[in-house]
């Protein structure tokens, strides 16, 4: 029963009202976050399968072969990098293209600071990598107000 | 300037011993910037450098002396490589640190959400190319995670054959 309940909660985790209580229980909250990550992984995988099967019939995007190289949706950095270059000029075309462009804007970006490899997402050692993770300072696992510890 | 990984870890260890972690945290960015340990590994071209290889170790050190920039640097690599080779060295260390593990899961979900959004827009754009109509005039409701049913509806409206 616990498991099915967890699945239910993980599904509606986005819903703040449903999560205010479990958030207080650290262990449960961690479990739910794990479940949520798992769930979004599965949705992502299904969506990618859909994307690839669709392409065979309807797509007009050339770089799709990059996406079809692997079944791992988190290793498609090269594809999104290439796609962004392709659709960059399409800004005025239609609302769907504009939304596509804005969705693609953040993904291929690199947020690394110290890195000196000169490679961004989709290149060299990071050819399978998204480097756009940008965690805000206040989310760091310590109290940023504290000066002495 | 910090030359390599062992130097970094030794400094953190010593600062801990002399209760100098807060001081270290404030001054550490300068010695890290331009450090050769972030350079590209010259030999096999697509291999990670030493720093990235050990990100799971360094992130715990960075947490210890509360260095946000270094922490985020490791964090980016760990999110990008979730459950991948970077975790192989010490598979349980990150899961044992409850705070870091929770954050990792949350941010991985966030990354997946971003990819899903992009995939969704690709689908929308290509459906539109195919149907030659502006789908966004038909659908105003915000999609998310529930988008699959909408896509199936989209397929249903397609002319067959």
Q: What is the pLDDT of residue B144?
A: 46
Chain A residue nearest residue B109, CA to CA: A37
Chain A residue nearest residue B65, CA to CA: A149
The answer to whether residue A147 sits within a structural domain is: no
- Mean pLDDT of chain A, nearest integer: 74
pLDDT, tens digit, for every residue of B24-82? 777 788 888 878 888 887 666 677 888 888 888 888 888 888 888 889 989 998 888 88
pLDDT, tens digit, for every residue of B110-156? 888 888 888 888 877 777 766 666 555 555 444 444 455 555 554 44
- Mean pLDDT of chain B, nearest integer: 76
Is there a single domain that holds both residue A78 and residue A131?
yes
**How many Å apart are CA A62 and CA A65, to the nearest integer?**
7
Is there a single domain that holds both residue A72 and residue A108?
yes
Is there a single domain that holds both residue A55 and residue A116?
no
At which of A15, A38, A59 does a domain end? Answer: A59
pLDDT, tens digit, for every residue of A15-46? 544 555 666 677 888 888 888 888 888 888 88
For chain B, positions 78-117, list CB contacts with chain A under 8 A: 79-82, 98-103, 105-117
b/e map B4-22, b = 16+ CB within 10 Å: ebeebeebbeebeeeeebe
- The yes-or-no verdict on residue A136 having pLDDT over 70 is yes
- The yes-or-no verdict on residue A58 having pLDDT over 60 is no
What's the whole-number mean pLDDT along residues A118-139? 83
At which of A41, A59, A77 does a domain end? Answer: A59
Domain range for A68: 61-137
**How many Å apart are CA A10 and CA B10, to the nearest integer?**
41
What's the whole-number mean pLDDT along residues B73-99? 83
Is there a single domain that holds both residue A37 and residue A88?
no
Closest CA to A130 of B59, B145, B118, B147: B118
Does the ipTM surpass 0.85?
no
**Nearest residue, CB atoms, B105 vs list A33, A47, A54:** A33
Please report, for chain B, the start and end positions of each structural domain, with discontinuous segments joined by +: 1-96, 106-161
Is there a single domain that holds both residue A37 and residue A104?
no
For chain B, positions 25-84, list CB contacts with chain A under 8 A: 32-35, 38-41, 45-49, 51-52, 63, 66, 68-73, 75-77, 79-82
Q: What is the pLDDT of residue B145?
A: 45
For chain A, positions 86-125, list CB contacts with chain B under 8 A: 87, 94-97, 99-100, 103-104, 106-107, 111-119, 124-125
Question: CB burial class (10 A; 0-12, 13-18, 19+) of residue A68?
Answer: middle
The answer to whether residue A10 sits within a structural domain is: yes
Please tell me the distance in Å from A82's CA to the nearest CA on chain B. Answer: 13
**How many Å apart are CA B121 and CA A103, to the nearest integer?**
7
Closest CA to B106 of A14, A83, A112: A14
């Amino acid at each position: 029963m616990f498991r099915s309940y967890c699945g239910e909660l993980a599904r509606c985790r986005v819903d703040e009202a449903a999560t205010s209580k479990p958030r207080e229980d650290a262990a449960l909250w961690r479990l739910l976050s794990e479940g949520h990550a798992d769930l979004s992984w599965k949705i992502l995988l299904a969506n990618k399968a859909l994307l690839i099967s669709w392409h065979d019939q309807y797509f007009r995007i050339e770089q799709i072969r990059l996406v079809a190289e692997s079944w791992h949706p988190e290793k498609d950095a090269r594809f999104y990098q290439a796609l962004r270059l392709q659709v960059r000029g399409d800004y005025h075309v239609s609302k769907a293209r504009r939304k596509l462009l804005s969705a693609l804007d953040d993904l291929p970006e690199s947020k690394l600071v110290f890195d000196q490899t000169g490679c961004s997402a989709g290149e060299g050692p990071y050819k399978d990598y998204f480097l756009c993770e940008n965690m805000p300072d206040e989310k760091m696992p310590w109290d940023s107000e504290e000066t002495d510890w | 300037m910090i030359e390599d990984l062992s130097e970094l870890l030794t400094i953190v260890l010593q600062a801990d011993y002399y209760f100098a972690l807060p001081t270290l945290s404030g001054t550490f960015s300068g010695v890290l910037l331009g450090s050769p340990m972030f350079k590209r590994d010259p030999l096999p071209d697509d291999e990670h450098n030493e720093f990235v290889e050990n990100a799971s170790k360094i992130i715990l050190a960075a947490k210890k002396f509360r260095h946000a920039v270094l922490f985020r640097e490791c964090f980016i690599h760990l999110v990008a490589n979730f459950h991948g080779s970077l975790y192989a060295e010490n598979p349980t260390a990150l899961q044992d640190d409850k705070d870091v593990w929770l954050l990792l899961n949350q941010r991985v979900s966030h990354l997946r959400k971003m990819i899903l959004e992009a995939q969704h827009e690709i689908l929308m754009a290509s459906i539109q190319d195919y149907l030659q109509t502006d789908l966004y005039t038909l659908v105003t409701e915000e999609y998310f995670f529930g988008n699959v049913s909408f896509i199936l509806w989209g397929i249903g409206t397609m002319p067959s054959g």
